[in-house]
Structure 1
Amino acid sequence: MINEKQKLIVEDAKYPCAVLAGPGTGKTFTIVQKIISLIKNDGISPNKILVTTFTKKAANELIERVESGLKKEKIFADTSNMLIGNFHSLALSFLKEYKSFTNKIFDPLVIDSHIEGYLIEKNMDIFENLPNFSKFISYNEVGQIQGIFANITNNLVDLDELRNSNNPRDILALEIYLAWANFLDENDLINYQLILKKFYDLLKDPFYGKKIRDRIDFVIIDEYQDTNTIQEEISFSLCKGKNLMVFGDDDQALYSFRGASPKNLRDFDKTCKMKMKRKANFYHIDINYRSNQEIIDKSRQFLVNSNAFDLEKIKNLKANDGEKNENSVVRARANEYENIEYIVKFLNKKINLNQIAFLFPSLNSDYPKSLQTYFENHGINVLNKSSKLFFKRREIRLCLYVLISIFSKKPKKLTGSNPDKYKWTQETNFKKYIVSIFDDKEFTKNEELNAYIKEEKLIIEENKSYTDILYKAFGLEIFREILDKKIDKLNSIRELSNIGKFTSILSDFTNLCGYDINYYKKSVDLIYGYIFYLFKNSAVSEFENFDAPKNSVIFSTIHQAKGLEYDVVFVSSLNDNPRKDMRAFSPKLEAAKESDFLKNYYRKYYTAFTRAKNLLVLLDNSKNSYIKNFAFSLNSSSILKTIDFKFKEDIVKKEILAYTTDISIYKSCPLKYKFIRVLDFKKEKSKSLEFGSKVHSLAEYLTNLKKENLSYHAINDFIKENKEFQKPIENFVNRNFPIKHSEMNIKLDRFSYILQGNIDIILEDGTIIDIKTGKADENNLISYKNQLLTYYNLLVYNNKKVNKMILYFIEEDKLIEVEKSDFDMKNIDEIGKNIVEKNIEIKTQDKKQCKFCPMAYFCKRT
């Protein structure tokens, strides 16, 4: 049921506006209802509503709920190309569509902060040669370089101001920024900051900015308190009028260390007056559907007693059921492990263990490690989302044993060589780690494993890729005993997903290096460069994309728990104390924000407390006097039987599934789907596959040029330098297709899942064309035809007319028309249902499907 304040926002809000939504107040529900109302009552097309969320996961949940909501209300609206995503995914989609803005024909490779850190470290000479570098940057060079680059881009620092500054730090910051931006551009790479900067530049361009704004009638920004300067600017630049609605809660602002500021939310009215010449409207939703009133009141009291906040601005939330149980908030002795064990096991009689979370400021302290060890020794499983343990795991040591035994030698010297003591220690620790793997008796005594390694070393000149060697090793018994496990228990989830992560590490490295590499020569850089960097920075986390099994409690950081809820929450603040955000490298790089470090500290624990639904337990081991005193103000015991705990039913989450990446793979083999899609086992692209991808990108680029009536001038220059692409380009241009739509993303709610497809081209007469590379043959035609028939049905079910269906093999310049035969949507639905229900342990009986499957050695189908 929608409450009155939500109803006002959904049906009668005046724009621009900010919705202040406290924890548990049904914010996502309100956003969904708002989107549906805009479509139903205001007649706005779904693809003219742009919504940003904090994460991709939140975006997918929003899409699913909007699709389901429209279906439930029997609203037949065209939901193709909906603009729902996080800032970065939306930015990338617009940059991809308007490539003519940059004249970059191929998409740059997106790199995360860890890959970027490795590349900076590897190319440190770029920076060391800059004037004053060693004078101002003498430690944590990688972190400082990344920080300088992020501050300049996130805060939209004027480069001319730095250039004209008398401060040598400003000059150095500018040189670092320009050097790294140039490196990324020359190597066709893009980091997260540049994604937003390039999108910002696109929006500021008079021609392209107007084109984008003309496509958008309404903008909704979620988690506005965690936006930074460039995200705020993008939010306003997306609007051509007043139709902007932001959602946020400054009491839950957690990301000041990334440059985000709740000031954006607090000053929303001021910004609207400046940028829109309009006064902002403010709305509040304050009925909490999550927590007992006692948890709500004590959480508020925590903020009030801190004296860091204006009393009248602290939200006064009310529990939906009005119930207040003084037993819902309690303190417990942190070091009395037996008592905590007793509480957890008592609760487990009433709820599943995964309804219990232990939240910490960090998982790297001794206390969570010690408590986890105690729990595991006493029969309580713990899902720990730390990134400290990845390289210590047996399954990762095993993967590394295979690679280092083939490509490397046991280090003779066990100490580092760097004169810097800290870096020397890091090098020494890694060498000792590598030696411990070489000397691991479980591995050295395994005859089958070492026979395989010996065999591969003899044929090393064949230049097999790292993943080829690892996937072949999956056929060995020592790997098979791991890979044979089902995804149902904590340890098996960890082992399987960690091996998947390791394949990603190898494929990421190869993709960075390119395809014409000597794997043996590059192995030193892989092991003592990239893997060493990940190792020393504890950069690989575990259980990232997996929910906790029923029989495991959750250990998480407070930041990781943002947006989540648990029946029972234990909070320990450990040695955490308020501390100022790190100063920027120079004053000109600072964001325009007040120093909020005290408030940020209290907000963090307010966010932690408000994750709890029925029971909040503060552990008494805080070193901070305020939190310590607050804990001691709470009851030291609780009558747990007075709390209405309930076992949480298993909820089968509705997923968004695509034909090519989901349905088709599952259809070929459910077990293959398990490894490739669920566990994310990766393999680098082959040279031919990369060429095909680039041809497809070229077709997309040409299509967008044609749609915008723009010149092919840039493509002519490209052909001169890349003759291998001349024929497919000429084939496509000479066809002169009358294009109406391109890259249309279309979705359909199918009860247990949402089916989606991405249609390459729709012609003016309703003909759909799917562009293919390579040659047409019997092996791929059946799958390609089924793909087109799926797209046909997606369009028909969405009330769109389809004329013909054509497969276009661009390299051969060959058109194959696909007949509108009877299409078994029930079969697709059955596959979708099986995917959602995780029926993924069945191996295909059709051995022809195994020919190109990377798991063929594991399945003994080679």
Structure 2
Amino acid sequence: MFDFGNANTGQKRAITAVNGPVLIIAGPGTGKTFTLVQRAVYMIQEKGVKPEQILIATFTDKAAKELVTRITNELLERNIAVNIKEMYIGTFHSICLRFIKEHIEYTRIRKNYRTLDDFDQTYTAFQNISRFRNIENFDIAITVKGAWRQSQEICRYVNNLSEELILADDLKGDDDPAISALGDILSVYNCILNTNNIIDFAGIQTEAYYLLKTNPEVLEELQSKIKYLMIDEYQDTNFIQEQIVFTLAGKEENICVVGDDDQGLYRFRGATIRNILEFPTKFTEKDCKVIPLTINYRSNSEIVGFYNKWMTTTSGAKFRFDWDKYRFDKRIIASKSSQLNGSAVIKISAEDDEDEWHESILHFINTLKDCGKLKDLNQIAFLFQSVRNQKALDLARYLEKNGVNVYSPRSDMFFERGEVKLILGALLLTFPQYVARLEQRNFDFTDENLCQYYESCIRTLNDYLQKNECRPLLTWIRGRGKTHFNLTKNTDYGLTGLIYQMFEFAPFTSILDTELGSGVIDLRPARNIAKLTEIIGKYEYLHRVEVLTPKKIEKDIILFFNMYLRFLFNGGIDEYEDDSEYAPSGCVSFLTIHQSKGMEFPIVIVGSLSNNPRNRHDNILTEITEKYHKRPSYEPLDRIKYYDFWRLYYTAFSRAQNLLVLTANEKTREPSKYFSECYSSLKSNTDSAFNIQEFDFEEIKNVNIKEVYSFTSHISVYETCSLQYKFFKELGFTPIRVGATLFGQLVHQTIEDIHRAALRKEAHLITNNNIQQWLLSNYTTLSKSEHTYLGEPQIMAALKQVCRYAERQNGDWSRIQEAEVEVSLLKQDYIIEGTIDLIRGEGDTVELVDFKSEKKPDIFKDVEKLEHYRKQLQVYAHLVEKKTGHTVSKLHIYYTGEEDSNPQITFPSNRGAIDSTIQEFDNIVQKIKKKDFCTKATSQITCNNCDFRFYCKN
């Protein structure tokens, strides 16, 4: 008998409705994630569905990690072993990337492609802006001025068109010059992607869609594996996501979608509410089961009543609209009635000025603290439409000034942080020729606000350099400045290298000394410096800056400060967010309403009440949709602004568990008329009817996300130097790019091509000519991706190694079972994963092979290296045996560089030795989880090659 836990009747219906189409309409706080988790476990345990037959797509990486953690915990409790890698659990984009990776030979992209984030995409368009501007009628389609803003518009249009599956050729012949120009823009943009072997965020889904639609054999293979689809947050899906879902489901139509039409927030990203509203009508052969979840376990019943009323109040002073068919009729029911005499929904207002409003909020927080009802500031969340709005920023600064820490990673305060200004100030002063031009504003293109910011960075640093303990930093800056001013030969460092050199000196040394167990505010400076290394490292990659040279130093520095950093400065940078931490202890959270989706807080304070519904549709895109979209428009254009506005604030109000607060500075036309009815009826926090002593506030829930660890990426790094692990793995510092191991990657990828051909039953293709073609193709994409090159003799040496490996098989590939195998194993509090180069064997007994593109080492002189490889293979053996039940008989290291003797070193697969290695693995993971990073490398060679060698001097 399946254990349903505390599932209610509706949840049980949803859990057991396995076959055919199912729509679960899950209102806020109704146990949606619990239901999804139990449904997956029910399918595996009760219905015998194999884990690899289930696909679960959700909206964010954080939600995907939580699902993986909760599903694996449930399975472990029930003693069910699965390889979580075999399940397709993730965001739509991560699942689509997996489809592409597994079938890359069927796509337009090649191996070693680069995926663009939003900034990378805009920067790519910017770097090619002259190509776009040469398009006829470009200025009619793209009406904004300035290269960067034009690049942003280009990306907005191509993303929308891609996700609606509208092709460039469809638009080019249009009579409207703006639309035909957009067709040419899309064509040029796609050409840039193809030439550079890159893919953007929207293109991930487009590529996956065409992979499925144009390759029946790939679709058939995936449909034979994936039998059940579960799609979370279905109200936020777009057209292409719907098409991918229905294409994958095929005739079986085992699609379960979960969502709440009242919380559809992502129209600006192409989402359409029609996907969830029309879902039950999509099926002709089978009836769609519609299961509403309406019992709310999150919020006080008065809060539930408040947001229920909000959704049904559709008329007021000078406004009126109807939901009609564009909303499922529902009413959320609180699981229990409020026991309060007073109200659980109140307002905090000010009638004078902003200062009074700030003081009122601070007073409220201090009252909560003083009365002993608040256990932690993280029980309070402020929700705004934008945390970059000046009112939100001013409030955050006021609270922090008055002793209330604020966690607001998306508030655009990165460049204001003291540590960032100190680093940039020091970096600027190491280039005196640039500072001289900055003072005179002697640049061809610049931004006065940015210039003033740079001058403030220099002032911040100069103030700091007055301290005695800063003399060493001052001496270093002067020395580097002198070198750069009279640079006569190449340095052995670039801009990121300069940052790492600063870590030898105060105050940066003490910032990096911060213990990882410290609070988010204490760790913020170290994380922001890590973010800066990522930003600068990306610039150096994009512009191929490895070292500073006399010929290019001036150009590289001006390009970095005046252009690259300017775009980031004007656009804003998010600070660090920890997926494993729900709301950091010791801070109130400042979140956008979108950011708070799926979250809950004991006390929620909703601002941004001066807002009004606004039309946000684009006339050109609207016309394109009418002409070229695969289906007609849905919601009435004149009502969309109301629908989106009501859904946004419904989502905000429904985040609150115990106390919902609406706040407004009433002197500044707050709240707007759309809130006047619900706001005016509320009691103030200063009203005698409101008694804070009545409340017992929930504590913030523990997310408890299971982290993933592998031998090469985690255990090996920690064993080499736990300090390196702290900085690179925990804090996210970006290593300085050195010459990549291009030769080894080239050999490895071409051997993978051989194995893939053999596994496709195409061993006849494994000829020297084809191997050469595969290798040269791999070299082209690798060298472009890594910005590193090999000479002709090295390429020929790599080819010789791969051909020699193929020849040694004598045409017999029959023992190959799997190649590049990703395996994972659930542990109680983490997940082990690894990628095995080759599994070969017969029947239930297999051997593991790991390839090294070097000569076989001396087994007596290189004991330490071989022991490291042995442990790696033992971890893989453990994963394979647990995953498949097969016996691993031998562990091989295959050295492709070995010409004459046996190229393999073989270890026996010994159960006792494997168990011992796994125990070591577990011990190291526990040290990592305890933030134990006190050991340093024992090898001087390791230290000499480490980016943090300057920091470790002290």
TM-score normalised according to structure 1 size? 0.92
1:200 partner SS:
helix
- Whole-angstrom distance in 2 between the partners of 1:696 and 1:631: 65
Among 594, 613, 623, the residue aligned to 2:657? 613
State whether structure 2 residue 176 is matched by structure 1 residue 167: yes
> Pick from 769, 779, 783: which aligns with 2:849?
769
The answer to whether the 8 A contact 1:331-1:619 is kept is: yes
Q: Deviations over 1:762-787 (max 9, x none)?
A: 22432122334456555543332222
> 1:347 — aligned with what?
368
8 Å CA contact 2:37, 2:67 repeated in 1: yes
Deviates more, 1:726-735 or 1:468-477: 726-735
- TM alignment of 1:551-562, pairs within 5 A: 551-562=586-597
User: Do the aligned residues in 2 keep the contact of 1:36 with 1:70 (CA within 8 Å)?
Assistant: yes
Would you say 1:397 and 2:421 are equivalent positions?
yes
Which residue, 818, 833, 836 being the options, matches 2:929? 836
Q: CA RMSD in A?
A: 2.8
In the alignment, which residue of structure 1 is the partner of 2:567?
533
Displacement of 1:461 in angstroms is: 1.0
One-letter identity of the residue aligned with 1:681:
F
- The residue aligned with 2:213 is 204
| Cα distance in structure 2, aligned partners of 1:403 and 1:50 | 48
Instruction: Tell me by how many angstroms 1:63 deviates.
Output: 1.5
Structure 1 equivalent of residue 142 of structure 2: 137
Q: 1:43 and 1:2, CA in 2 relative to 1: closer, same or farther beyond 3 A?
A: same
CA distance in 2, matches of 1:444, 1:844: 32
Q: How does 1:257-656 map to 2 (within 5 A)?
A: 257-273=268-284, 277-306=285-314, 308-310=322-324, 313-323=328-338, 325=340, 327-333=343-349, 335-348=356-369, 349-350=372-373, 351-406=375-430, 409-410=434-435, 412=437, 427-439=447-459, 440-442=461-463, 446-456=470-480, 458=483, 461-487=490-516, 488-514=518-544, 520=553, 521-543=555-577, 547=581, 548-583=583-618, 585-590=620-625, 592-594=633-635, 595=637, 596-621=640-665, 622-637=670-685, 638-648=690-700, 653-656=705-708
Instruction: Give secondary structure in 2 for the equivalent of 1:42.
Output: coil
- CA deviation profile, 1:40-92 (whole Å, cap 9, x unmatched): 22222111211111112221221222222111112234544221111111111
Q: Is contact 1:45–1:78 with CA below 8 Å preserved after alignment? A: no
Residue in 2 aligned with 1:853? Answer: 946
Q: Give the one of 820, 833, 836 matched to 2:909.
A: 820
Moved more, 842-851 or 368-377: 842-851
Computing the radius of gyration over CA atoms, which structure comes out larger, 1 or 2?
A: 2
Moved more, 746-755 or 474-483: 746-755
Equivalent of 1:23 in 24, 28, 34: 28
Amino acid paired to 1:204: K
Q: Please report how far the alpha carbon of residue 381 of structure 1 lies from its aligned counterpart in structure 2 after TM superposition.
A: 0.9
CA distance in 1, matches of 2:712, 2:396: 41
Identity %: 30
Residue 575 of structure 1 aligns to a residue in which SS? coil
Task: Kindly provide the amino acid, as one letter, of the partner of residue 566 in structure 1.
Answer: F
Q: Distance in 2 between matches of 1:81 and 1:302?
A: 44
Shift of 1:10: 1.4
Does 2:155 align with 1:150?
A: no
- For residues 708 and 639 of structure 1, the distance between their equivalents in structure 2, rounded to whole angstroms, comes to 71
**Of 218, 223, 232, which aligns to 1:222?**
232
In structure 2, do the counterparts of structure 1 residues 347 and 727 end up closer, same or farther at CA, with 3 Å as the change threshold? farther
**Structure 2 contact 68–89 (Cα < 8 Å) conserved:** yes
Q: 1:189 to 1:401 in 2, by over 3 A?
A: farther
| Deviations 1:249-302 (CA, angstroms, capped at 9, x unpaired) | 1111110011101111001123334xxx54422111222221111111111111
Query: Contact 1:15/1:244 (CA < 8 Å) preserved in 2?
Result: yes
Deviation of the 1:117 alpha carbon = 1.4
Aligned partner of residue 568 in structure 1, secondary structure = strand
How far, CA to CA, are the matches of 1:808 and 1:526 in structure 2?
A: 45
Q: CA deviation at 1:155?
A: 0.7
User: Can you list the C-alpha shifts for 1:335-390, whole angstroms capped at 9, x where unaligned?
Assistant: 44333223223333332111110000011223222222222222211111234211
- Alpha-carbon distance in 2 for matches of 1:61, 1:10: 18
| Helix, strand or coil at the partner of 1:239 | helix
Distance 1:50 1:135 in 2: 44
Q: Secondary structure at the match of 2:282?
A: helix
Deviations, residues 488-531 of structure 1 (Å, cap 9, x unaligned): 13432210111111111122223334587766353333332221
2:367 and 2:715 map into 1 onto residues whose CA distance is 43
TM-score, structure 2 length as denominator? 0.84
Distance in 1, Cα, partners of 2:343 & 2:222: 54
Change (3 A) 1:105 1:696: farther
For the residue of structure 1 that corresponds to 2:283, the secondary structure is: helix
Are 2:274 and 2:634, in contact at CA under 8 Å, matched by a contact in 1? yes
Pair 1:157–1:416, CA change in 2 (3 A): farther
Question: Given that residues 151 and 589 in structure 1 are in contact (C-alpha distance below 8 angstroms), is that contact kept between their aligned partners in structure 2?
Answer: no
| Gaps in structure 1 of 5+ consecutive residues | none
Q: Please state if 1:83 is matched with 2:98.
A: no
2:261 equivalent in structure 1: 250
Partner letter of residue 582 of structure 1?
A: H
Q: CA deviation at 1:832?
A: 1.9
Map residues 664-703 of structure 1 onto 2, 5 A cutoff.
Answer: 664-703=716-755
User: Is 1:793 equivalent to 2:793 in the alignment?
Assistant: no
Residue pair 1:753, 1:836 contacting (<8 A) in 2 also = no
Report the alpha carbon displacement of residue 228 of structure 1 after superposing the two structures with TM.
0.8
Task: Report the number of matched residues.
Answer: 853
CA contact (8 A) 2:530 2:734 kept: yes
Q: Report how far residue 752 of structure 1 moved.
A: 2.2
Q: Which range moved further: 627-636 or 804-813?
A: 804-813
Question: What is the CA-CA distance between 1:574 and the residue it aligns to?
Answer: 4.2
Return the offset for 1:613: 0.9
Q: Which amino acid is the alignment partner of residue 658 of structure 1? A: S
In the alignment, the residues of structure 2 paired with residue 607 and residue 557 of structure 1 have an alpha-carbon distance, to the nearest angstrom, of: 11
Q: Partner of 2:788 in structure 1?
A: none
Measured in 2, the distance between the counterparts of 1:165 and 1:228 equals 25
CA contact (8 A) 1:17 1:245 kept: yes
Is residue 2:894 matched to residue 1:808? yes
> Aligned partners of 1:840 and 1:589: how far apart in 2?
56
Q: Secondary structure at the match of 1:261?
A: coil
Shift of residue 664 of structure 1? 2.4
Does the C-alpha gap of structure 1 residues 80 and 188 become closer, same or farther in structure 2, counting only changes over 3 Å? closer
Letter in 1 for 2:490: E
The CA distance in 1 between the partners of 2:906 and 2:73, in whole Å, is: 34
Match of 1:313, SS? coil
CA distance in 1, matches of 2:10, 2:196: 51
1:188 aligns with 2:197: yes
Letter in 2 for 1:333: S
CA-CA distance at 1:454 after TM superposition? 4.3
8 Å CA contact 1:114–1:539 kept in 2: the answer is no
